[in-house]
Amino acid sequence: MQDPMTPRRFRIARTLRETKDIFTWELRAEDGGEFAFSPGQYNMVYIYGIGEVPVSISGDAADRRKLLHTTRAVGAVTEAMRALKKGDMAGVRGPFGSVWPLDKLEGKDIVLVAGGVGLPPLRPAVYHILRNRAKYGRCTLLCGARTPQDIAFAQELERWRGRLDFDVHVTVDSAGPDWRGNVGVVTTLVSRAVFTPEKTAALVCGPEIMMRFAAAELANRGVREDSMYITLERNMKCGIGLCGHCQLGPVFICKDGPVFNYGMIKQWFLKREI
Amino acid sequence: MKTLEQILAEHRFFRDMPPEYLRLAAGCAANKRFEAGQLLCREGSDADYFYVISRGSAAIEIFAPGRGPITIQSLGEGDMAGYSWLIPPYKYRLDVRAVEPVLAVAFDGKCLREKCEANPALGYDFLKRVTQVVIARLGATRLQLLDIYGKNLF
């Protein structure tokens, strides 16, 4: 990797509107080179003159020609990102951080739990699992959103649901009468998923409260805490553990995370004073 | 073909229930099928039955005048519906409607209440199981109220 503090220039090749406030960028490197990353990693995305934010990589790690970022417009930088058009430029530093330990999890049942904009960081893991499907046991994706209109990657979820070797359950917190799917928080789906707890690993991504309750539900089902993985996103600034903004106990989230083993990080994750 | 006791023993709600209690419970139970749109429970009516769902899906609903039914939570295989059978005044507090055809084991609540009154250990066992369901639903509802995916809080 080049100097981690120097952004590499990328141009927007395409913008996909996933929901009213979630969008995906397809980026191409201005230098024409490829972009290599592993599922779970993120980039620092720099909007010139506005600022920089960490954004998870939502594309397929096997396709190095294009870089996909999916995020939600919630602040000054992400609102500015949404306003950019095809052909506009952004700076990218990365990839940074830890990865979903997919090689280590071969042979296990996999439960992926995604809440809201937690699905984009899990999508590269789904691509990897589906490409190497025979290496894993039963695989289930539990996906929660606020309303049916807030479900990101809806068409892709339908395609995945159509596979016989991948269980997909989608739920929304609230819905109108025309919604025929599930209603309820995503944690309620854990009790319905079919897996063998003692040989199951869980990958969980979403708001921290959701992850906390999802971990509790998974533990209730008998999944070991050291077989659960979560992602954290608190205060990431430099991406290389230099500035210290994202320190959480003995770790830097930007460098040692964003993916953490739940059994390892739990005592710091649940600590209220930090 | 499995007996009702065997079916119950495999159901999440009855997990690890002692066989003698399962036998008592099965004595008040029968298989029942609901077509899509049919009500399993109706708000305000006597909670004469409760159901453990074997197949299909249902929705816990509140009816809003001028708007119609609003789904609060979906239920599926392994879930139970109608916990008001155990809790005075034994009236359903919400509607439960089959979203798709539902196969369920239906329990005569009055029959089972009488057995629970006569056998407090059985009653306590059921109370613990029903309370777990109530607490799980309360917890889920609290998370729904938090609007954890909204922009304001998180």
What's the rounded Cα separation, in Å, for the pair A207 and A232?
Answer: 9
What's the rounded Cα separation, in Å, for the pair A241 and B11?
Answer: 49
Q: Rounded mean pLDDT of chain B?
A: 92
Tokens standing for residue A239: 């991406």
DSSP assignment of B61-90 equals: EEEETTTEEEEEEEE-TT-EE-GGGGSTT-
Q: Do A188 and B140 touch (CB under 8 A)?
A: yes
Q: Do B68 and A173 touch (CB under 8 A)?
A: no
Q: Binning pLDDT at 50, 70 and 90, where does residue B151 land?
A: low
Say if domain B4-146 classifies as CATH 2.60.40.1120: no
User: Hey, how many other C-beta atoms are within 10 angstroms of the C-beta on B49?
Assistant: 23
Closest-CA residue to B24 (of B122, B127, B125): B122
Q: Do A116 and B149 touch (CB under 8 A)?
A: yes
What per-residue confidence (pLDDT) applies to A1? 54
Report the CATH fold assignment for A109-231: Rossmann fold (3.40.50)
Per-residue exposure over A139-168, b if at least 16 CB sit within 10 Å of its own CB, e if not: bbbbbbbbebebbbbeeebeebeeeeebbb
Q: In chain A, what residues touch B146 (CB-CB under 8 Å)?
A: 209
DSSP assignment of B115-126 equals: HHHH-HHHHHHH
A178-202 per-position pLDDT tens digit:
888 999 999 999 988 999 999 999 9
Q: With 50 as the cut, is the pLDDT of residue B149 above it? A: yes
Q: With 50 as the cut, is the pLDDT of residue A175 above it? A: yes
Q: Binning pLDDT at 50, 70 and 90, where does residue A215 land?
A: very high
- Out of A71-80, A104-113, B132-141, B145-154, give the one with best mean pLDDT: A104-113
Find, in chain A, the residue whose alpha carbon is nearest to that of B53.
Answer: A192
What per-residue confidence (pLDDT) applies to A131? 96
What's the rounded Cα separation, in Å, for the pair A74 and A63?
Answer: 28
Q: In chain A, what residues touch B140 (CB-CB under 8 Å)?
A: 184-185, 187-188
Q: What's the rounded mean pLDDT across residues A103-111?
A: 97
DSSP assignment of A67-90 equals: EEEEEE--SHHHHHHHH--TT-EE
Spatial CB neighbours of A70, under 8 Å, sequence gap ≥ 6: A18, A22, A23, A24, A25, A55, A56, A58, A117, A120, A123, A152
Q: Binning pLDDT at 50, 70 and 90, where does residue B117 land?
A: very high
Q: Binning pLDDT at 50, 70 and 90, where does residue A53 land?
A: very high
What is the enclosing helix (H) or strand (E) of A167? strand A167-172
Q: Do A207 and B154 touch (CB under 8 A)?
A: yes
Q: Binning pLDDT at 50, 70 and 90, where does residue A29 land?
A: very high
Q: With 70 as the cut, is the pLDDT of residue A238 above it? A: yes
Q: Closest partner residue to B146 among A181, A206, A209, by Cβ? A: A209
Instruction: Sketch the domain layout of chain A as residue ranges.
Output: 8-96, 109-231
Say if domain A8-96 classifies as CATH 3.40.50.1000: no
Q: With 50 as the cut, is the pLDDT of residue B154 above it? A: no
Taking CA A252 as the corner, what is the angle to CA A250 and CA A254, rounded to the nearest 5 degrees?
165
What per-residue confidence (pLDDT) applies to A7? 92
Same fold? A8-96, A109-231? no
CA A116 to chain B, closest CA, distance in angstroms equals: 6
A93-103 per-position pLDDT tens digit:
999 999 999 99
Q: What's the rounded mean pLDDT across residues B109-123?
A: 95
User: Hey, how many other C-beta atoms are within 10 angstroms of the C-beta on A33?
Assistant: 11
Q: With 50 as the cut, is the pLDDT of residue B85 above it? A: yes
Q: In chain A, what residues touch B12 (CB-CB under 8 Å)?
A: 191
Closest-CA residue to B105 (of B48, B56, B53, B58): B53
Q: What's the rounded mean pLDDT across residues A198-217?
A: 95
Q: Closest partner residue to A184 among B78, B99, B140, by Cβ? A: B140
Q: With 90 as the cut, is the pLDDT of residue A41 above it? A: yes
Q: What's the rounded mean pLDDT across residues B125-132?
A: 96
What's the rounded Cα separation, in Å, for the pair A145 and A172?
Answer: 5
A120-168 per-position pLDDT tens digit:
999 999 999 999 999 999 999 999 999 999 999 999 999 999 999 999 9
Identity at A123, one-letter amino acid code: R
Burial class (CB in 10 A: 0-12, 13-18, 19+), A2: exposed
Per-residue exposure over B73-107, b if at least 16 CB sit within 10 Å of its own CB, e if not: bbbbbbbbbbbbbbeeeeebebbbbbbeebebbbb
Q: With 50 as the cut, is the pLDDT of residue A271 above it? A: yes
What per-residue confidence (pLDDT) applies to B66? 85
Spatial CB neighbours of B56, under 8 Å, sequence gap ≥ 6: B34, B76, B77, B98, B99, B100, B101, B102, B103, B104
What per-residue confidence (pLDDT) applies to A176? 85
Q: In chain B, what residues touch A79 (CB-CB under 8 Å)?
A: none
Check the CA dihedral A250-A255-A261-A266 and report its sign: positive
Percent of chain A whose predicted confidence (pLDDT) is above 70: 100
Q: With contact defined as beta carbons under 8 Å apart, do A62 and A131 qualify?
A: yes
Q: Closest partner residue to A192 among B70, B77, B99, by Cβ? A: B77
Q: With 80 as the cut, is the pLDDT of residue B150 above it? A: no
What per-residue confidence (pLDDT) applies to B152? 57
Burial class (CB in 10 A: 0-12, 13-18, 19+), A108: buried
Q: In chain A, what residues touch B149 (CB-CB under 8 Å)?
A: 115-117, 144-146, 150, 173, 207
A255-270 per-position pLDDT tens digit:
999 999 999 999 988 8
What per-residue confidence (pLDDT) applies to A274? 75
What per-residue confidence (pLDDT) applies to A34? 93
Q: With contact defined as beta carbons under 8 Å apart, do B105 and A152 qualify?
A: no
What's the rounded Cα separation, in Å, for the pair A205 and A233?
Answer: 10
Q: What's the rounded mean pLDDT across residues B53-75?
A: 92
Q: Do B78 and A177 touch (CB under 8 A)?
A: no
Q: With 50 as the cut, is the pLDDT of residue A40 above it? A: yes
Q: With contact defined as beta carbons under 8 Å apart, do B116 and B107 qualify?
A: no
Q: With contact defined as beta carbons under 8 Å apart, do A53 and A82 qualify?
A: no
Chain-centre distance for alpha carbon B63: 18
